[in-house]
Structure 1
Amino acid sequence: MDSTKLQQKVYAGYGKAALRIGPVFDLYRPSSPINPFQYGPVASLNASFNAEDMTYGRPNKYGKPTWFCLVDGTQTQVGDYLINDSQTFFIAAMQPILPILAVDCNRTINVLRPQQQTGEGLLGYGGDTDANETPLMTGWPASVLQGTKGEKGEVNLPGDVRNPWWQMLFPAFLGVNLRTADIITDDLDRRYVISSAELTDLGWRCTSQQAQT
């Protein structure tokens, strides 16, 4: 048996297991960086998720967004989303023979590029405002979890608290490149500034500082 046939059998086996133990999810395949689900789901599939333990012998823990996914992998691709009424995941990796890796999404984000100054001499106000930010990605479910530290604000008054840091995971989309100082907003109206944006085989991994204004 060659590797392609073996992989198909593994994925088909995942699909059969999911039919028995997993609820139905709508499968979405992002079609655009702006409003990625505008054309609706491409399929409905049973899927089951476990805390990287195929024996289903342990629960997930705080701050751990990755799961193993049992789903018919012959119908999915890296970057697809599985969504139902209570859960949203994106598929981060489908490596040969290994379990399908998925990421649990708890927020919906937009990624914006602040205005870039190009002129010289006497100019008007050049700071960043909502009106002069360019949307790069809008309406993308993502994992947004607390980072390991906070940062003191510039004013640093006695009653000020540290600005929290966040770790964000979401799929990449061809042609969209993120960089330091890009802005992220979420469905809770929180605002973040990207400190580092790493494009990995699993998608984007961003470290961001929450902005106070």
Structure 2
Amino acid sequence: MDGATIQNRVYRGYAKAAAKIGIAHDQYRPAGALTPLATGNKLASLPASFNAESFTYGKPNKYGKPTWYAIVDGAQTRVGDYLVGPSGTFFIAAQQALLPILAVECNRTIDILRPQQQTGVGAVGYGGDTDDNETLLMQAWPASVLQGAKGEKNETNLPGDVRSPWWAVLLPALPGILLRTADIITDDLGRRLLVSSAELTDMGWRITAMQALT
């Protein structure tokens, strides 16, 4: 018996388990940079169950931990797909051979923009960033946006100032879109985050960003 046959049997087992204990979730496969959960991107409705990385279902998830094991028919899903249903909104982060399917729970919806790059020299007009000169890279993407481990001291350092929060952002990768330092993230709460680092991994983007305070 070869690895491919074993993998197919594992996914069939997941499908049978999901049919017993899972709840129907809509499956979406992003087709472009805008609105991945658009009606046209819906592929199917699949039974799915999520556990806190424990197939015994013996423990709850904890604060600041967005990753789950997904019990779903892995033959029908692939990395980057979204599953949306009563359990929440998740994207498939990894389907590694013979290993559990790793999913990331999304708690926010974000847009990503790129500020204008100043190309002129000498006496030019205002070259700062404004809403009008930002380029939209990605729109309405569910993502995990959780509090980071540190805060940045405000430059004015007044007695009443608070540190600027840092955030850890997880997001599926999209072919043709490369994120970089200084890109801007806005979310459905109206927050504005400045990307400090963007690491492209085989599980998608891992981003650290500082909240812009006004």
TM-score, normalized by the shorter chain, greater than 0.5: yes
1:100 aligned partner = 101
- Aligned-partner SS, 1:18: helix
Name structure 2 gaps, 5 residues minimum. none
Deviations 1:92-143 (A, max 9, x none): 0000000000000000011100000000111221111111110111111000
TM-score (norm 2): 0.97
| Conserved 8 A contact 1:109-1:141 | yes
What is the aligned-residue RMSD (CA, Å)? 0.9
Deviations 1:4-33 (A, max 9, x none): 111111011101101111110000000001
Cα distance in 2 for partners of 1:104, 1:119 equals 43
Counterpart amino acid of residue 74 in structure 1: A
Deviation at 1:86, TM superposition (A): 5.2
Name structure 1 gaps, 5 residues minimum. none
Superposed counterparts of 1:189-204, under 5 Å:
189-204=190-205
1:111 aligned partner = 112
1:6 and 2:3 equivalent? no
Superposed counterparts of 1:59-208, under 5 Å:
59-85=60-86, 87-208=88-209
2:20 aligned partner = 20
Cα distance in 1 for partners of 2:174, 2:113 equals 14
Cα distance in 2 for partners of 1:85, 1:110 equals 24
Cα distance in 2 for partners of 1:83, 1:137 equals 19
Counterpart amino acid of residue 15 in structure 2: G
Counterpart amino acid of residue 15 in structure 1: A
Cα distance in 2 for partners of 1:73, 1:34 equals 25
Cα distance in 2 for partners of 1:195, 1:156 equals 21
Cα distance in 2 for partners of 1:180, 1:145 equals 19
1:42 and 2:68 equivalent? no
- Aligned-partner SS, 2:42: coil
Deviation at 1:35, TM superposition (A): 2.0
Cα distance in 1 for partners of 2:119, 2:201 equals 31
Identity score, percent: 67
**Segment of structure 1 superposing worse, 30-39 or 195-204:** 30-39
Deviations 1:29-75 (A, max 9, x none): 00001222331410100000000001101000000000000000000
- Aligned-partner SS, 1:11: helix
| Conserved 8 A contact 1:31-1:37 | no
Counterpart amino acid of residue 174 in structure 2: F
Counterpart amino acid of residue 4 in structure 1: A
Cα distance in 2 for partners of 1:74, 1:5 equals 12
Cα distance in 1 for partners of 2:56, 2:12 equals 18
Closer/same/farther in 2, CA of residues 114 and 17 from structure 1, 3 Å limit: same
Cα distance in 1 for partners of 2:156, 2:23 equals 50
Cα distance in 1 for partners of 2:76, 2:61 equals 26
| Conserved 8 A contact 2:30-2:41 | no
